[in-house]
Amino acid sequence: MKRFIIDGHLDLSMNAIEWNRDLSQPLADIRAREANMRDKPDRGKGTVCLPELRKGRIGLVVATQLARVSPKGNPSLSAWSSPQQAWAMTQAQLSWYKEMEALGEMTPIRNLDELEAHLKMWHSPEIPDEQKPVGYILSLEGADSLVEIGYLNRAYDYGLRAIGLSHFGPGRYAGGTKSTGGITDEGFRLLREIQRLGLILDVTHLTDKAFDEAIREFDGPVWASHHNVRKIVPNQRQLADEQIRILVEKNAVIGGMLDCWAMDIRFIDAVSDPWQLDIKLEKLVDHWDHICQIAGNSRHIAIGSDLDGIFGTEQTPWDMDSIADLQKFEDLLSRRGYTSGDIDNIFHENWLRFLRNAWK
């Protein structure tokens, strides 16, 4: 039987709403519908849908809401002109998750009881995998859409359990990827509220300055949902060795991502070809290896694929066609010397250990 997998980062609702993708449909049907569309770079090349998650035994995911704010007219993709507009988009995304729940396609995981019940169901041989709902832990990727800090309480009430302060650019609460600022005054207030509510803080996308400030000020559970290694891909989006050491000390888990740009320094968005550069799934094992050497074990690495993060097969390792191919990592890791226990750690145990500690 295939091993159970947890994916620590997928932008499912963004794809469903902004890309108008019916993720309950087979991947071949989604690609065929988009074959002649040109409005998004990954049209006809998507790798993620609910049937493929089940095919790959990816029974639990951290699924996002995502809506940035750029009030000065920055043309960045998916950036809204006001916090109110961004909040409205996250509520549309939330409604999509609720519709998937109504169809029996997905189920929310908000506490330990729901987590353990979901795992028991997924490990039951009496129900075929293709009939099992995909569990999701709701995360907010970047806090821009919180109109003011009180909105976080509303989000917690509807099921939000993890949050990052920023995404790309200078955010309302903290600096993000490709910017330089730290945490704002409101951001520090938001951090205190995140800690009070017991939410998981996702440090992915923070600037180095904001990372340092968050680690210093926040005393709750921390993870890096989708992050690779700066030593291999030397840019600000990846984790420096000292950041990795800090996260290991905090018992964090780092989810490895499968965007070629984050895997191989040679890759240039919208220019490079994964096949020509021979970027394969095994490249991510190099990043995992580096973290394991720092940590001294395999207890801090996992999968945070980001496979639906505004890219498809044009920007993923050439030896994968869909998210179900995450199962290929079993053989790749085994050939690199990882034990069966190590592979379980990476596939699901590290995320589970983290959640059980955070939610106990």
What are the tens digits of pLDDT across the range 122-140?
Answer: 999 999 999 999 999 999 9
**Residue 179 CB neighbours (<10 A):** 17
Domain count of the chain?
A: 1
The Cα–Cα gap between 10 and 62 comes to 6
Percent of the residues in the chain that have a pLDDT greater than 90, as a whole number: 94
- Token pair of 95 as six digits: 């409604």
Whether residue 76 is predicted with pLDDT greater than 60 in this model: the reply is: no
Average pLDDT, the chain: 96
CATH number for 332: 3.20.20.140
The Cα–Cα gap between 239 and 347 comes to 21
- Model-level pTM? 0.97
What are the tens digits of pLDDT across the range 284-338?
Answer: 999 999 999 999 999 999 999 999 999 999 999 999 999 999 999 999 999 999 9
What are the tens digits of pLDDT across the range 24-74?
Answer: 999 999 999 999 999 998 999 999 999 999 999 999 999 999 999 986 755
Beta carbons of 337 and 41 less than 8 angstroms apart: no
Whether residue 230 is predicted with pLDDT greater than 70 in this model: the reply is: yes
Residues 6+ away with beta carbon under 8 Å from 71: 81, 82
Domain ranges, residue 15: 5-359
